[in-house]
Amino acid sequence: MENAASESATPRRTQRERRELSYRRMIGAAIELFRRQGSSRTTLAQVGEMSGYSYGLVSHRFGSKEALVRAVTQQLQADFAKNALPALESLSGLSALIALAEAYLRAGAASDTNAMYALIGEALGPVPEIRPDIAEADRKFRLEVERRIEQGIRTREIRGDVDAKSYAAIFVGTLRGLVIQRLIEPIAFDLDAACTQVKRSIEHSLTKSS
């Protein structure tokens, strides 16, 4: 049963609204716990305690830790898209790639901890069962980059001989690596300078003759 105290202030909520509220709170609690201690040390009971709901409700809602991790991964992707992608709506091709790179770097460097990167580390180590979900997140990121490259090729602002699939992997890998360095050591490099250099690198790689 959901925590009665959390609902008493809003007795007119419909069942659907209550379900949506409890889901948001559980996901938010899971993200915070993953940031602090990783998913491997987080239990469904802890998620319930932090979100104000019972272990039974959390277990009923998600069924397993793996399903919770999948939901968190999807939410983190959705949050990034909600915050970063609207700025790209009027952009395409090369300009969209540059804006996407800067948005990703600044979002990733905004905190000294990051739930998605905690999950990436665990997927490579103690929690290999979440690897397919992390791989799917990477795949979607690469596909978005590929789409923008193909846009640029069609408009001829990007060279026609660029291999969109290979460059997308390099693009994602570069951004991931830079964010990891900042998360490990926030003063590792100047973020503004890095954004400028990444912009120059993208322009050079995609527009200059090889």
From first to last of the 210 residues of the chain, give the pLDDT tens digit: 455 455 455 557 788 888 899 999 999 999 999 988 989 899 999 999 999 999 999 999 998 888 999 899 888 888 887 777 777 778 889 999 999 999 899 888 776 558 888 899 899 988 888 899 889 989 999 999 999 999 999 999 999 999 999 999 999 999 999 999 998 898 999 999 999 999 999 999 999 775
112: its two tokens: 């000294």
In which region does residue 152 sit, left (phi positive, over 0), alpha (psi from -120 to 50) or beta (all else)? alpha
- Tell me what pLDDT residue 1 has: 47
Contact present, 199 and 106 (Cβ < 8 Å): no
- Rounded to 5 degrees, what are φ and ψ at 127? -130, 65
Q: How far apart are CA 8 and CA 4, in angstroms?
A: 6
Does the pTM surpass 0.85? The reply is no
DSSP 159: -
At 139, which amino acid appears?
A: R
- Tell me what pLDDT residue 95 has: 93
172: its two tokens: 């994602």
- Tell me what pLDDT residue 88 has: 76
- Tell me what pLDDT residue 210 has: 58
Most distant CA pair in the chain, distance:
65
- What are the residue ranges spanned by the domains of the chain? 1-63, 65-210
Q: Tell me which CATH homologous superfamily contains domain 65-210.
A: Tetracycline Repressor, domain 2 (1.10.357.10)
Same fold, 1-63 and 65-210: no
CATH of 1-63, one of 1.10.1040, 1.10.530, 3.30.360, 1.10.10: 1.10.10
Instruction: Provide the 3-class DSSP secondary structure of residue 53.
Output: coil
